[in-house]
Amino acid sequence: MVEPLISIVIPTFDRSELAQGAIKNVLDQSYNNFEVIVVEDGSSTGLDEFIKGLGNEKVIYASHETNRGLAASRNTGMNLSKGDYIAFLDDDDRWLKDKLMMQVDIMQRSNNPKIMVYCRNVPEKSKRYSSGQIRNIKGPMSDYIFQGFLLPSSSILMHTSALKSIGGHSTDLISCIDHDIWMKLARKGFHMDLVEEGLIYSVDDERKRMVNEFDDRLEGIKQFFNKWKSEIVEEYGIESWMKIERKYHNQTSYGIVNSYRKGVLLKHQATYYLNQLNSLEHYDYTWLDNTLSQFGLEKSTRLFNYIPLKRYL
């Protein structure tokens, strides 16, 4: 098999240890023809010296003078890329060693410039991705992305030219930038295929991420909804849009409650964020009951005691 060049972009901010682990993880791939573009987003952690110490020409260091955000960091990596294919790896995600090899095989057999290949997660190793989060789905992206199907960016491989054709990541969004990319690709008629094997896992679920504050998360959801709602409702109907809304409500509820359960958020903080989430259109607290049940919390101790739930009660 001819090995096309793959550009792997690792954005990071103030997390040198995790970024170093991500770089080492990529260098352990069984696929050989790649470049690693590490983009440090306004922090100064000595990561550049670590990369110099590797003495590996495959690893390229780039930096921003100020913190510009995850989308801008990925775009910097995209603009520096020379590969036929491009992949993104968050600094707290890891790949199994055959991830790129298996995805390239599917890309080449498909011979379709409008395709992206994703992979499943490794639930027993992952601290963030649940076992059912990444489903086995193939075909037109519009059939699934516009129904609320979400993909972690670290799971995908795609043609670099395809990403550049849609202008890369949207820097005007605080969060939801992954789904925004999938929405733009779906609008361009892209398809998706997958490796039906777990090849990605996370190694960190508590420490600060590039986009981790619930304030930013909620504001980003509002921005995303404002950007896409009218277009999706007009073309696919209100039910399709409500599926997308529910997906975001559910995931964000889960994150808030999980953070509360683990002591990352205090009671008043969790209450505040759930009330903020409640202000979003079509939010329904009934789903939260199932989430809390998964934690084994008795009804008397659930967050229902702490927040107004008129629609639920």
Residues 76, 25: Cα–Cα separation, whole Å: 21
Query: Could you tell me if 204 and 93 are in contact, meaning their C-beta atoms sit under 8 angstroms apart?
Result: no
pLDDT score for 125 = 63
Q: Tell how many helices (H) and how many strands (E) occur in the chain.
A: 11, 9
Residues 301, 313: Cα–Cα separation, whole Å: 16
- Considering the segment(s) 6-202 as one domain, its CATH architecture is Alpha-Beta Complex (3.90)
pLDDT score for 288 = 57
Q: Where in the chain is the domain with CATH 3.90.550.10?
A: 6-202
| pTM of the predicted structure, to 2 decimals | 0.84
Q: What is the end-to-end Cα distance of the chain in Å, rounded?
A: 61
pLDDT, averaged in runs of 10, over the chain (313 residues): 91 95 98 98 93 97 95 98 98 96 95 92 62 65 74 93 95 91 92 92 62 76 91 87 82 78 79 77 57 49 43 32
What residue type is assigned to position 256 of the chain? I
DSSP 50-116: HHHHHT-TTEEEEEESS---HHHHHHHHHHH---SEEEE--TTEEE-TTHHHHHHHHHHHHT-TTEE
pLDDT score for 244 = 84
